[in-house]
Chain A
Amino acid sequence: MRETILKTTGLTKRYKKFTALDSADMTVYSGDIYGLIGRNGAGKTTFMKVITDLTDQTSGEYELFGKKSSDTAGEKRRIGCLIENPAFFGNMTAWQNLRYYCYQKGITDLKQIDRALELVQLTEVRNKKFRKFSLGMKQRLGIAFALLDNPDLVILDEPINGLDPIGISELRETFLKLNKEQGITFIISSHILSELYAVANRFMFINNGKVLKEISKEELDLECSRCIVVKTSDTKKAVTVLEQELGVSSYKVTSSSEIRIYSDEAAPDIINQKLVGAGVPVSGIYESGVSLEDYFKTLIGEVSE
């Protein structure tokens, strides 16, 4: 069983009457690339601020590396963070800024600075002052800071903001490589679904401070892939008919009244005919299949209603 890196229980953050985070429950396991998906203002940054101790939760608990939220100070060096916009000292160069944090963290191997800068392709501008950096370069330095000192957990808030398409692709490869080769766990937030989908293996959908769904990539693929949805009050009997009379093997009973069929072995009209013929009450049958975007929209819609 994989080690639990982060576990939150009923994590809530209120600013006066506004609830920015509402009873968030989630678990991140070692080796995960955990994607936090939500619209602007959904509560992603608040969530990250709470678990990184930048703000206190109003109620609820979280455990980081198995330690309660009140006792995580000793674990900070295991975490690399980029929350909101990258912030560094404008009068210092990229290298000097990272050197400053090496002092703070007690890192004596200064090769780590060069290694971090290399990972984000900033080696050539290591001696350029931060204030002269472009938005994309600032973002890269923020990521380099998060990757300094080989952390066990890297938390990145909208890391691809300001990056060009090639930069995004390079960073994606870097994250995947670090995850695979060094086992670094990532929590990455974004409102760009396709980008998160390309790197993450687990997802949390969040809207208006509420966690809508926590789902693995496989489950997400399954929910988004093309299928035939059968609505019936007798799923047990329907499954028997599908297997025995139609030879359908790729399906999933998604609720007490819904079956999703993922194979092309039978057309909807044939399925309907067979089910009705066998006395299965069918209240609906239709083809489904959504893009990630539509899937997210549906999730938000479901909650809003």
Chain B
Amino acid sequence: MINMMRAELYRLSKSKGLYICLFLLLFTYGMAAVLKAPGGISLSAMVSFDKSSDVKLDINQISFNYTYYFAFIGLVFSAISVEFSEKTVKNTLTSVTDKSRYFIAKFTGTVVFGLYVYIVMHLLYYIVNRIVNGTAYSSDFGSYAAAMAKHLPIMIAILSIFSFLAFFFRKGALFNTFAIGGPVLYTTVALTLYSINATQKIAEKLLEYELGSMLSKIVLDSDSKYLISCFTVCSAVTLISFFLGWLSFTRRETD
């Protein structure tokens, strides 16, 4: 499995798409540091930024981690979908390993690499923000690291869902459609249910665990009960995605 992951790193290092993703991330976070204002992608729930609050710029920036959702689409596409679109998956399955090991290596490799990018980018941002804006806009490293760590289970869950989608759909276009459209679909369903009296409570729960809400609330609020429930949801999503992805890949024909 280590060999497979090393191979993946080698291949990703040759992929232009990955560098574009990394550049966009750096650009977004660089802008936030230079303009002294948090920012990024927030599709479904706007994050409110109160300049008078005690929360400093770097932690507020973490609440904009929705940006990684889109960066991870690029990563999973490069790591998994391309193998199906280029049909290179058969090379590995015929001469290197079996389907189960292949799936585990790809799934784990994608999650590990995604988290690596996530952590490195945040550390980089912290250092740049500290140097550029000083302590007035920068938290102590412990608080920053804790806020960053709170998002790790969510990031793992996102990478897991994407890995499942990539193995399930196989075709890059379908994967992209569902991955990009997923949050919009989720919010649309939740808001539709909200407008119906009988399903309002379900809708409230759905909106509570909507990605944008989780990303900001988990960092900006200190409700431990919500934190635990978020981690539970993320763990369940990760496990289910792993199982369904494995089932879908190992039980179906490989073209």
Contacts and interface: CB of A to CB of B under 8 A. Distances in A.
Interface of A: 52-55, 73, 76-77, 79-81, 83-85, 87-92, 96, 99-101, 103-106, 145-146, 151, 155
Interface of B: 3-4, 6-7, 10-11, 14-16, 82, 86-88, 90-99, 101, 253-254
A106 B3 contact: yes
Given A88-B86, A105-B3, A106-B3, A52 B11 contact: no
B16 A54 contact: no
Given A54-B253, A91-B16, 6 more contacts: A76-B97, A81-B91, A87-B86, A89-B14, A91-B14, A101-B91
A54 B86 CA distance: 16
A89 B11 contact: yes
A21 to B, nearest CB: 14
B10 A99 contact: yes
Contact of A105 (B10, B86, B90, B96): B96
Contacts of A79: 94-95
Given A90-B86, A92-B11, A103 B94 contact: no
B254 A103 contact: no
Given A89-B11, A103-B7, A145-B91, A76 B98 contact: yes
Contacts of A55: 253-254
Given A83-B94, A100-B7, A103-B3, A88 B88 contact: yes
B108 to A, nearest CB: 15
Report which residue of B16, B82, B90, B101 has the largest number of chain A beta carbons within 10 angstroms of its beta carbon.
B90
Nearest to A70: B98
A155 B93 CA distance: 13
A151 B94 CA distance: 12
A146 B101 CA distance: 21
7 contacts: A53-B99, A76-B97, A81-B90, A87-B88, A99-B10, A104-B92, A145-B95
B4 to A, nearest CB: 6
Nearest to A55: B253
Contacts of B16: 91
Contacts of A99: 10
B19 to A, nearest CB: 12
A101 B7 contact: yes
B91 A53 contact: no
Contacts of A103: 3-4, 6-7, 10
Contacts of B4: 103-104
A52 B86 CA distance: 19
Nearest to B14: A92
Contacts of B88: 87-89
A101 B89 CA distance: 11
Contacts of A83: 90, 94
Contacts of B94: 52-54, 76, 79, 81, 83, 155
A76 B102 CA distance: 13
Contacts of B91: 81, 87-88, 101, 145
A101 B96 CA distance: 8
Contacts of B92: 101, 104
Contacts of A101: 7, 91-92, 95-96
A54 B3 CA distance: 21
Given A54-B90, A54-B254, A105 B95 contact: yes
